[in-house]
């Protein structure tokens, strides 16, 4: 049991699985009490039970954070239960596959609502609480593809790039109030989402899909997918006092995605 977040209270959005659940578990291990907020209320409840079977340290909140009123409620319920708020992790996200020629007003609206506006709404209600607590930290979970191009997820990548802009400008707005705002950009991470998607596509079991994903590896310098906990450690760093001089930053946690291993003579 660590003490990096001793007596701190955190909201982790999209806490029902994957990176969000791993972050919630790590935060609790480091002394925090945590609200896991997710539109999938059952997933949030299951994650809360897995992290803290005795209850008391983890609160599960079902909320569609694309709705500003729901974001306000999630923050309100967390503060009502735990008395304060010190850390907000904006991790909830959705994906839309396909090139921009296939995008529709509806697909744009949904992905912007969740990947950008939900983070903005949660921040709108959390930041005053962080200020009331004497300062705090907001960590936005973006993506390596906010800064490295690829094909097939243009809408997603655009929203994740927008999240980096929000991160920097929020950092400017709230530095004087001792609120730091940073972003983590995960690379390809072995979460339930990707396992489920692969299992559906290949018609295999989740166990086989997870093994196949890991065996296939990833096009990054390290050659493999990240595990959710490896992303959670970066989020923990930005959430706790060890990053006290870091704000407005983008931390790539992607195994070196987009970096070249070519030598100096290659073109």
Ligand X SMILES: NC(=O)c1ccc[n+]([C@@H]2O[C@H](COP(=O)([O-])OP(=O)(O)OC[C@H]3O[C@@H](n4cnc5c(N)ncnc54)[C@H](O)[C@@H]3O)[C@@H](O)[C@H]2O)c1
Least CB distance to ligand X at residue 114 (A):
4
Distance CA(120)–CA(134), nearest Å, equals 21
39 near ligand X, rule: CB under 6 A: yes
CB nearer ligand X, residue 95 or residue 177: 95
Least CB distance to ligand X at residue 108 (A):
15
Start-to-end CA distance of the chain, whole Å, equals 49
The per-residue DSSP string of 161-194 comes to HHHHHHHHHHHHHHTTTTEEEEEEEE-SB--HHH
40 near ligand X, rule: CB under 6 A: yes
247 near ligand X, rule: CB under 6 A: no
Q: For residue 232, how many other CB atoms are within 10 A of its CB? A: 29
Stretch that binds ligand X, among 1-9, 59-67, 175-183, 257-265 (CB under 6 A): 59-67
Stretch that binds ligand X, among 15-23, 25-33, 81-89, 212-220 (CB under 6 A): 15-23
CB nearer ligand X, residue 19 or residue 170: 19
Distance CA(157)–CA(95), nearest Å, equals 9
**Number of separate helices (H) and strands (E) present in the chain:** 9, 7
Distance CA(22)–CA(123), nearest Å, equals 21
- Contact with ligand X (CB under 6 A): which of 36, 88, 141, 183? 141
The catalytic residue positions are: 156
Secondary structure of residue 36 in the 3-state scheme: strand
Least CB distance to ligand X at residue 195 (A):
10
DSSP 66: T
114 near ligand X, rule: CB under 6 A: yes
155 near ligand X, rule: CB under 6 A: no
Q: What residues line the site for ligand X (CB under 6 A)?
A: 13-14, 16-20, 38-40, 43, 64-66, 91-94, 114, 118, 141, 143, 186, 188-189, 191, 193-194
């Amino acid at each position: 049991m660590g003490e990096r977040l001793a007596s701190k209270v955190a909201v982790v959005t999209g806490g029902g699985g994957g990176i969000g659940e791993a972050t919630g578990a790590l935060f609790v291990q480091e002394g925090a009490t945590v609200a896991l907020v997710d539109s999938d209320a059952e997933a949030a409840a299951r994650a809360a039970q897995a992290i803290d079977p005795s209850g008391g340290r983890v609160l599960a909140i079902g909320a569609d954070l694309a709705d500003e009123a729901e974001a306000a409620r999630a923050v309100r319920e967390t503060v009502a239960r735990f008395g304060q708020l010190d850390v907000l992790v904006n991790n909830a996200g959705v994906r839309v596959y396909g090139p921009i020629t296939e995008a529709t007003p509806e697909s744009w609206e949904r992905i912007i609502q969740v990947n950008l506006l939900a983070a903005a709404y949660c921040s709108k209600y959390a930041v005053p609480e962080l200020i009331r607590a004497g300062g705090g930290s907001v960590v936005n979970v973006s993506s390596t593809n906010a800064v490295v191009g690829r094909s097939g997820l243009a809408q997603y990548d655009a929203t994740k790039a927008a999240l980096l802009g929000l991160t920097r400008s929020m950092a400017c707005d709230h530095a004087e109030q001792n609120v730091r705002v940073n972003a983590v950009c995960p690379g390809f991470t072995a979460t339930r989402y990707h396992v489920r998607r692969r299992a559906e596509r290949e018609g295999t079991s989740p166990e086989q899909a997870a093994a196949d994903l890991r065996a296939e590896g990833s096009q990054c310098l390290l050659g493999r997918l990240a595990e959710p906990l490896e992303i959670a450690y970066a989020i923990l760093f930005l959430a706790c006092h060890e990053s006290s001089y870091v704000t407005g930053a983008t931390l790539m946690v992607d195994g070196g995605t987009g970096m070249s291993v070519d030598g100096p003579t290659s073109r």
